[in-house]
Structure 1
Amino acid sequence: MSALACDGLTVGYGDGAPVIDGLHLDLAEGAVTALLGANGAGKTTLLRALTGLVPLRAGRILLGGTDLTGMSTEDRMRAGLGLVPEGRSTVVELTVDENLRLGGLWRHKAKARKAAVEEMYGLFPALDRRRRTPGHTLSGGERQMLALARALLARPRVLLLDEPSLGLAPKATAQLLGVLRETAARTGLTVLLAEQNAASALSVAERGVVLSLGAVAADRPAAELAADPALRHAYLGF
C-alpha cells in the first residue's frame, strides 16, 4: 500500500484552466521523493491540494487506507499529513522553545511533549543553543530548522515540504536536507519535497517526480534522473 496516493487529481483556481490536470502519484512508504519543476509547473498547488487548502475539481487522495478527499485541513493533519509551507511558518514573537512546545501541543501529553521537544533539540543543535531566543532574531536557516522541527513534533506519517531551501545558504540547505534524510531513514517517515534546487533535492531523495504544466513529465529513481542530461537540461536547470 502507498503511503500517499493521488488518483486523477485535477485542481485549479476559480474558473481558470486547471493547474494540475488528471495527476496520478504514489509515494512509497518511508521514502523521500523530490517534486521538481519550473516555477508555474504546479508544485505548490499540488501540496495545497493535498492538504485541503485548495479544493479539488476531480480526483481522490488516499493516506494509506484513509480517504482524505472530503476532509478538512485540520482533519488531514490529525490523520497524519504534515506540511512545512514556503515562508518558514514560525511564530516570530515566540521563543524557539515556545514555538516547539506549541507545535507538539495537540499530539502529545505534557510529559511526552517535553521528551519530543528534547528530541528535536538533539536533531537540531543550533536550535538547542537558541532555546530562549525570539523567533524574529533567528537566521533564515534557523527559522527553517524551527519550522521543520515543529512539523516533526506532530509525528506525521507523510510530510510535505514546499521550497525549504528558498533563500538559504548552501551550507544551511545541506544541513537541513541532511536532517530530513536521516529522520526519514530512521523513523520511516514519507517525504514529498517540492524544490527549485533540483540538485540538492535529488541528492537526498530516492525518487524524483518532474512536473511540467500540471502533469508528470518524468518519474524515475533520483540518481537516474540526475544522471540524464536531456531531462536535466529540459526541466531541472542544471
Structure 2
Amino acid sequence: MSALSCQELTVGYGDGAPVVDRFDLDVEEGAVVALLGANGAGKTTLLRTLAGLQPVRGGRVLLHDRDLAKAAAEDRVRAGLALVPEGRSVVVELTVDENLRLGGLWRHRPRARRAAVEEMYALFPPLERRRAAAGHTLSGGERQMLALARALLARPRVLLLDEPSLGLAPQVTAQLLGVLRDTAARTGLTVLLAEQNVTGALSVAHRGVVLSLGAVVADRPAAELAADPALRHAYLGF
C-alpha cells in the first residue's frame, strides 16, 4: 500500500522550464526511500512541493489516497506529512526542551506531550544532557538531532528529510541515520530521504530513486543500486 504517491507531478519557478517534470513515485507504507542525485537534480524542490511550500504546475500528491496537491502546508502537517528542511531549523532563542515541547504542542495533551518529549530524549541522549541549553549554543549535530526529534514528536505518517547529514561528522551522521532506520522499523513510519551522502542513505533505505534534471533515471532496491558501478559513476559521483 502506498503511503505517499506522486503522479505526473510538474513543478517550476516563475515562467522557467520545469524543475520536476511529470514525476511519478510511490513510497510504500513503512518504507525508507533514498532520493539521490547531484546538486540541481530537483531533490529539494520535490520535497518542498510535497510539503506544500512550492506550488505545483500539474499532477497529484497523494497521502494515503488523499490528494493534497492544492492543500496548504499546515493542512498537510495535520494530515500527517512532516518536512525537516536542509539547514537544521530550530528556534535558536528557545531551549532544547522548549523546542521539543513546541513540536508536540498541537498533537498531544499536556501529559502525553511530556511523555513524548521524554521518548525523544531516550532516542537522542545528547539532547537529554542539554535540555536547558539554548538552540544557538548547540553543535551542528545536536541541532540536526533536535530538528529530527521535533518532527518525530508530531507523530507524522510520512517524514520528508532534506540533506540531514549536510556538514556533520561521519559518526554523527551514522547515529542520525541509525535512529531513523530503527524508528521506521519500530513504528512503521514512512520516510523519503534526500541525501548526497549516498553510501549512508543507501545503508538505511529499502529503495533508492535517482534524479537527474528533475526526472527519475533509476528506481531500484538500495543494495542493487549501491552495487551498480556504472550508475554510481554516471549520476552519484562515486
TM-score, normalised relative to structure 2: 0.99
Indicate whether 1:182 and 2:171 are aligned.
no
Per-residue deviation, residues 96-142 of structure 1 (Å, max 9, x unmatched): 00000001001111011000000000000010011011111111000
- What is the number of equivalent residue pairs in this alignment? 238
Indicate whether 1:140 and 2:176 are aligned.
no
The aligned residue for residue 130 of structure 1 is 130
The alpha carbon displacement at 1:52 in A equals 1.1
Indicate whether 1:95 and 2:90 are aligned.
no
The aligned residue for residue 74 of structure 1 is 74
Indicate whether 1:118 and 2:118 are aligned.
yes
The aligned residue for residue 223 of structure 2 is 223
The alpha carbon displacement at 1:73 in A equals 0.2
The alpha carbon displacement at 1:66 in A equals 1.3
Q: Distance in 1 between matches of 2:172 and 2:139?
A: 10
Per-residue deviation, residues 131-171 of structure 1 (Å, max 9, x unmatched): 01111111100000000000000000000000000000000
The alpha carbon displacement at 1:65 in A equals 2.1
Superposed counterparts of 1:43-62, under 5 Å: 43-62=43-62
Please state whether the residue corresponding to 1:56 is helix, strand or coil: coil
Per-residue deviation, residues 198-228 of structure 1 (Å, max 9, x unmatched): 1110011010000001000000000000000
Report the aligned-residue RMSD: 0.5
Letter of the aligned partner of 2:227 in structure 1?
A
Q: Distance in 1 between matches of 2:154 and 2:29?
A: 18
The alpha carbon displacement at 1:82 in A equals 0.6
Q: Distance in 2 between matches of 1:66 and 1:115?
A: 31
The aligned residue for residue 197 of structure 1 is 197
The alpha carbon displacement at 1:67 in A equals 1.2
The aligned residue for residue 236 of structure 1 is 236
The aligned residue for residue 21 of structure 2 is 21
Q: Distance in 2 between matches of 1:204 and 1:160?
A: 15
Letter of the aligned partner of 2:195 in structure 1?
E
Please state whether the residue corresponding to 1:131 is helix, strand or coil: coil
Please state whether the residue corresponding to 1:105 is helix, strand or coil: coil
Query: Identity percentage over the alignment?
Result: 81
**Runs (5+) with no aligned partner, structure 1:** none
Letter of the aligned partner of 2:138 in structure 1?
L
The alpha carbon displacement at 1:17 in A equals 0.3
Please state whether the residue corresponding to 1:141 is helix, strand or coil: helix
Per-residue deviation, residues 3-55 of structure 1 (Å, max 9, x unmatched): 00000000000000000000000001101100000000000000011011111
Q: Distance in 1 between matches of 2:107 and 2:55?
A: 26
Q: Distance in 2 between matches of 1:92 and 1:177?
A: 23
The aligned residue for residue 38 of structure 2 is 38
Please state whether the residue corresponding to 1:120 is helix, strand or coil: helix
Please state whether the residue corresponding to 1:176 is helix, strand or coil: helix
Please state whether the residue corresponding to 1:35 is helix, strand or coil: strand
Q: Write out the 4+ residue segments of structure 1 that deviate beyond 3 Å after TM superposition.
A: none
**Runs (5+) with no aligned partner, structure 2:** none
Please state whether the residue corresponding to 2:57 is helix, strand or coil: strand
TM-score, normalised relative to structure 1: 0.99
